[in-house]
């Protein structure tokens, strides 16, 4: 029943997405656009019908049943995304079934910290919190001077922000932003131009946009000065 076939017929990087709500559908469609072969699984017939219009491989199945996942050949997939959200029991049972089937890398969506802890203990290699991450990002964009904000699990962040007045007309070495704020300017973009990698000799002009990386608290402090 594995739609990709078994053994040598399976793509080198095979991906399955289980749960086709808004998050799961977005992941599956994005992976498809990137050129990956994706198997999408959901137990709801109306969801499968809709997904079949945009995805090539869709299967209606109960992912909490280990035997069903074994029949689908889930253990042969390199990556499985368990995108089930509000049904915590189904989410956990699905992760457990994937782990028992020998999936190499399991990504799982969690709705809160406790859910995430259970998923980790059950066998998930990576746990994501999409609602929390989006809420955090929007909060930064609304309350600060950031144009974009991405935070990683280890307290590291990358932000896009306008160049501060103190840096305009000077090279990055001269403005000493790194020593003053503890952040690294990764790239600089002039209006209407592409981003360029930043060097100590890069001159910052008025209206430039900076890509800055560093500890979350430090890039937040830096962005507040722009």
| Domains, the chain, with CATH or none | 15-128 (3.40.50.720), 137-224 (3.30.70.1450)
Tell me how far apart the alpha carbons of residues 212 and 117 are, in angstroms, rounded to a whole number. Answer: 31
Token pair 């935070």 is at which residue?
Answer: 151
- Burial bucket for residue 36 (CB in 10 Å: 0-12, 13-18, 19+): middle
pLDDT value, residue 156: 87
Per-residue pLDDT of the chain (226 residues; tens, 9 = 90+): 445 544 445 445 789 999 999 899 999 999 988 888 899 999 999 999 999 988 989 999 999 998 999 999 999 998 999 999 789 999 999 999 999 999 999 999 999 889 999 999 999 999 988 877 776 666 666 666 678 888 776 688 898 999 999 999 999 999 999 999 999 999 999 988 889 999 999 999 999 999 999 998 898 889 887 7
Tell me how far apart the alpha carbons of residues 137 and 58 are, in angstroms, rounded to a whole number. Answer: 32
Q: How far apart are the first and last CA of the chain?
A: 57
Please choose, from the candidates 122, 64, 118, 121, the residue with its C-alpha nearest in 3D space to the C-alpha of residue 94: 64
Tell me how far apart the alpha carbons of residues 103 and 81 are, in angstroms, rounded to a whole number. Answer: 10
DSSP-derived secondary structure for 16-34: EEE--SHHHHHHHHHHHHT
């Amino acid at each position: 029943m594995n739609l990709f076939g078994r053994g040598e017929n399976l793509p080198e990087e095979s991906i399955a997405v289980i749960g086709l709500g808004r998050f799961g559908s977005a992941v599956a469609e994005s992976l498809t656009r990137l050129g990956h072969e994706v198997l999408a699984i959901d137990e709801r017939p109306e969801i499968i019908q809709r997904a079949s219009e945009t995805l090539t491989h869709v299967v209606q199945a109960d992912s909490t049943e280990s035997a069903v996942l074994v029949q689908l050949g889930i253990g042969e997939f390199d990556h499985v995304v368990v995108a089930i959200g509000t049904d915590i029991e189904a989410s956990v049972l699905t992760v457990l079934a994937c782990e028992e089937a020998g999936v190499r890398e399991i990504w799982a969506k969690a709705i809160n910290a406790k859910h995430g802890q259970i998923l980790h203990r059950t066998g998930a290699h990576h746990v994501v919190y999409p609602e929390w991450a989006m809420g955090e990002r929007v909060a930064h964009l609304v309350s600060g001077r950031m144009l974009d904000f991405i935070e990683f699990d280890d307290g590291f962040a990358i932000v896009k922000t306008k160049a501060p007045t103190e840096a305009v007309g000077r090279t990055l070495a001269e403005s000493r932003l790194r020593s003053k704020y503890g952040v690294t300017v990764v790239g600089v973009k002039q209006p209407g131009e592409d981003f360029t990698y930043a060097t100590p000799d890069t001159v910052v002009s008025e209206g430039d946009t900076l890509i800055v990386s560093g500890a979350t608290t430090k890039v937040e402090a830096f962005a507040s000065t722009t």
